[in-house]
A = this chain, B = another copy of it.
């Protein structure tokens, strides 16, 4: 790609180009309104060489646009905080709403290539991330996003010239960083890596290489590329991806049929086990924190199955500074206007922390499927997208455990009636609960399919029999403590940041130069 790049004459003289830019810029403004009305979200990714003029180009692109409907996000300097999450999280964080634009001043490409060449991530992890970028871009497309990917290209000689100009002026010399100088020195390695990155990520949304040695040529080509993607989106309407036939390491179960709902525990054993396991969990939380292992616990289950009480027994021994419980209700308008996983990506635990989701992203394949809140393609596709999401988490070293809190319809009825008859519990039971109850067979089938299609080696489902709530609590505690114990022992082999070169060492190295 880069290596084949030729600076072509675009056939315009200077004035003609200027006029054409003006025309295209104005048409971008009217397209902005069309995009707003069609509720299409647009992402414009700008990657490229240091000193290639990304900031300047963004400025030109947005100059006539209505500032209420776009955002600019910059990732030149990711802070330590960002580094405590899976690398894609920061890009999910800034995803635009339907009808809005996002301009990214460097994004997932620089994040991968920069870290790899700075030796912050090893080769294997780099290659894994390239694949994750492809998955990310496909998910964006399948969920209706329009993506334009621009690479601002300048030669080594031109880069040197620009760096020198900045350095020779005492008002601008501070802008030249060690990283800029290092890239200039390592130009060829960067070129090769940029090149192979673009080759590997050219399928879903193709790259557009801009001749950034000329400000006007790159403006012209950028505007053309953006308008083209938008026109295509407006013409064909919002894209809804089909399910893929990608394979995952499925466990093929568990099944609700195999659940033994008579399972029970004696009050004495319960008391003893609760204390033992909670003490153990408290100690493990400490180790998790020190080893910086992130943990995600997912709770799904029938209404009145006992999720809340179960979660409380897990949370009790945890240091409150190191965990969060996220209750998941219907999405807000801002959540509905974005990728359906956005509201979960943005609430992930940072490394060393535990997040307990009280209901989860599996709403997509249960309530949203059954109530028709999304199309069949959407929920059919979600099994794979969710498996990919959880793969990304576990590749980052996250322990992901998923619990289906299980009861039978009779037990539910008893508990509903008990709630209705106890004044201080009445708030817990709503008309909706009764309506959902009528759809038990549909839910049962959806649950079964979910358990089959999303129980993976890396993020397994557990059915927790909860007719005896005490039994359920002990069983969950047992599974959690077992998994954390394993993680504490094993974490060296996982893709944890802590096993790579730390950013502190990086600073040291770059100072040495």
Contacts and interface: CB of A to CB of B under 8 A. Distances in A.
A275 B124 CA distance: 51
A258 interface: no
How many chain A residues sit at the interface, stated as a range, is: 35 or more
A58 interface: yes
Contacts of A325: 67-68
A55 B320 CA distance: 7
Interface string A57-91: 01100111111110110101001110000000000
A315 interface: yes
A33 interface: yes
Interface stretch (A111-119, A144-152, A326-334): A326-334
A228 interface: no
A38 B325 CA distance: 22
A321 interface: yes
A324 interface: yes
Given A103-B320, A424-B33, A427-B33, A63 B358 contact: no
A30 B424 contact: yes
Interface string A304-332: 00001001100111111100110100001
Interface string A270-296: 000000000000000010001000000
Nearest to A29: B424
A37 interface: yes
A385 interface: no
A103 B105 CA distance: 37
Nearest to A76: B321
B320 A66 contact: no
B67 A321 contact: no
Contact of A67 (B33, B81, B333, B358): B358
Contact of A321 (B69, B72, B316, B319): B72
Nearest to A282: B59
Nearest to A321: B74
Contacts of A72: 320-321, 324
Contacts of A33: 424, 427
A58 B315 CA distance: 12
A64 B286 CA distance: 22
Given A71-B324, A81-B79, A427-B37, A319 B59 contact: yes
Given A37-B427, A290-B174, A332-B334, A68 B327 contact: yes
Closest 4 interchain pairs by CB?
A68-B327, A67-B325, A72-B320, A74-B321
Given A67-B358, A103-B320, 20 more contacts: A33-B424, A33-B427, A59-B316, A63-B316, A64-B312, A66-B312, A67-B308, A67-B311, A67-B312, A67-B315, A67-B325, A71-B324, A74-B320, A74-B321, A76-B321, A79-B80, A81-B81, A105-B321, A171-B286, A332-B333
Interface of A: 30, 33, 36-37, 55, 58-59, 62-69, 71-72, 74, 76, 79-81, 103, 105, 171, 174, 286, 290, 308, 311-312, 315-321, 324-325, 327, 332-334, 356, 358, 424, 427
